[in-house]
């Protein structure tokens, strides 16, 4: 059963700042994207990688793949106006049995987690990595006043990778595109939920952080040094 990976790396990373989008900024002397790609490229179960990148960074992304020997990168497509459109453009370039979708700026994903989500996608058809909430959460009104305390045991913080059969994820994206709601889809599982598919949660790890702010980049440097 073939497994392909879509790396969503077309964002601008405005919250991080800097001259380049966050996925191309350096972490431990290498682009953030290089760390992300390495985790998938070295796994035997992964057959191909498709990257959605900003159109002006297509050549730069190919250079990263060549420089670090990421031989499983088969195609790099220009990203769309939002994350979902970027993933949809990449999805049209493959026909694998299982599709994993991962954030380009989430460089600390482990091999064990990738294998777990791939296995869950095979078994359940749709699976998402997440972390059960440990803090108390509050529902607030428009005046920032607390109105309700939901049971935190019913809530998870979602991460990536997310994994699906090609049949399910292609159907979900086609329907989302038809309904004109790709712009509001903040992750892939939202679209899968809309077609009535059941999604299995797979417990992730706190270290699987997404680089979004300067503080995240600093935390990433600390994590790299601790691993070394």
Domains of the chain, by residue range, sit at: 3-130+157-227
Question: How would CATH label the architecture of 3-130+157-227?
Answer: Alpha-Beta Complex (3.90)
Q: Tens digits of per-residue pLDDT, 157-208?
A: 999 999 999 999 999 999 999 999 999 999 999 999 999 999 999 999 999 9
| Predicted pLDDT at 13 | 62
Please say if the pLDDT value at position 61 is more than 90. yes
Question: What's the pTM value of the predicted model, to 2 decimals?
Answer: 0.95
The pLDDT of 146-162, averaged and rounded, is 94
d(Cα 134, Cα 105) in Å, to the nearest integer?
24
Structural tokens at position 16: 């991080």
- The number of beta carbons lying within 10 Å of the beta carbon of residue 124 is 18
> What is the percent of the chain with per-residue pLDDT over 90, rounded to a whole number?
92
d(Cα 16, Cα 107) in Å, to the nearest integer?
15
Q: Which residues contact 98 (CB under 8 A, 6 or more apart)?
A: 1, 2, 3, 4, 118, 121, 122, 163, 164, 165, 166
Confidence of residue 20 (pLDDT cuts 50, 70, 90): confident
User: What is the CA angle 196-100-125, rounded to 5?
Assistant: 35
Choose the weakest-confidence range: 30-39, 41-50, 123-132, 148-157.
Answer: 148-157
Q: What is the signed CA dihedral for 33, 38, 40, 45, rounded to 10 degrees?
A: 160
Q: 182 vs 11, which has greater pLDDT?
A: 182
């Amino acid at each position: 059963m073939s497994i392909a990976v879509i790396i969503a790396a077309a964002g601008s990373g405005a919250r991080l700042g800097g001259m380049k989008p966050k996925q191309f900024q350096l972490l431990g002397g290498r682009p953030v994207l290089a760390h992300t790609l390495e985790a998938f490229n070295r796994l035997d179960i992964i057959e191909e990688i498709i990257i959605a990148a900003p159109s002006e960074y297509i050549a730069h992304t190919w250079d990263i793949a060549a420089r670090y020997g990421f031989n499983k990168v088969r195609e790099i497509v220009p990203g769309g106006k939002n994350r979902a459109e970027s993933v949809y453009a990449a999805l049209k370039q493959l026909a694998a049995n299982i599709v994993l979708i991962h954030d380009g700026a989430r460089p600390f994903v482990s091999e064990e987690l990738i294998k777990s989500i791939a296995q869950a996608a095979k078994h359940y058809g749709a699976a998402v990595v997440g972390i059960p909430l440990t803090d108390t959460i509050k529902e607030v009104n428009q005046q920032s006043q607390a109105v309700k305390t939901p049971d935190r045991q019913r809530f998870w913080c979602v991460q990536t990778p997310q994994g699906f059969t090609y049949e399910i994820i292609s159907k979900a994206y086609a329907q989302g595109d038809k309904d004109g709601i790709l712009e509001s889809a903040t992750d892939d599982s939202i679209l899968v939920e809309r077609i009535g598919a059941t999604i299995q949660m797979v417990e992730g790890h706190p270290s699987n952080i997404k680089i979004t702010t300067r503080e995240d980049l600093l935390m990433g440097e600390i994590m790299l040094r601790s691993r070394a």
